[in-house]
Amino acid sequence: MPTYYFDIRDGVPVRDKEGLELATDGAAIAHSKGLADQVRRDKPQGHPRLQIVVIDESGREVHREPVYPGAAAPP
């Protein structure tokens, strides 16, 4: 199974160094949505541009999941 990495970005990326083996891009995207939900529950107000970026083992960006999709970005 391929390995996917779930980087956290809000201007400065925090790299996921371990990754997670998942069967498909779709499974990795679903996992990123679950991570975003967990972050929202743990920290209801955070950086409006916070994203979870899914990267596959070849370095290709698969998906960007906004953590606070309704938040307005600062000017």
Q: Which residue, among 21, 11, 25, 20, has the nearest Cα to 61 in the 3D structure?
A: 25
Kindly report, residue by residue over 1-29, the tens digit of the pLDDT: 999 999 999 877 899 999 999 999 999 99
Range of the domain at 18: 3-66
**73 part of a folded domain:** no
**75 part of a folded domain:** no
Q: Tell me what the mean pLDDT of segment 62-74 comes to.
A: 81
Spatial distance between the Cα atoms of 64 and 35, rounded to a whole number of angstroms: 12
pTM (whole model) above 0.85: yes
**74 part of a folded domain:** no
**24 part of a folded domain:** yes
**72 part of a folded domain:** no
Spatial distance between the Cα atoms of 72 and 75, rounded to a whole number of angstroms: 9
Q: Tell me what the mean pLDDT of segment 46-62 comes to.
A: 94
Give the number of domains in the chain: 1
**44 part of a folded domain:** yes
**47 part of a folded domain:** yes
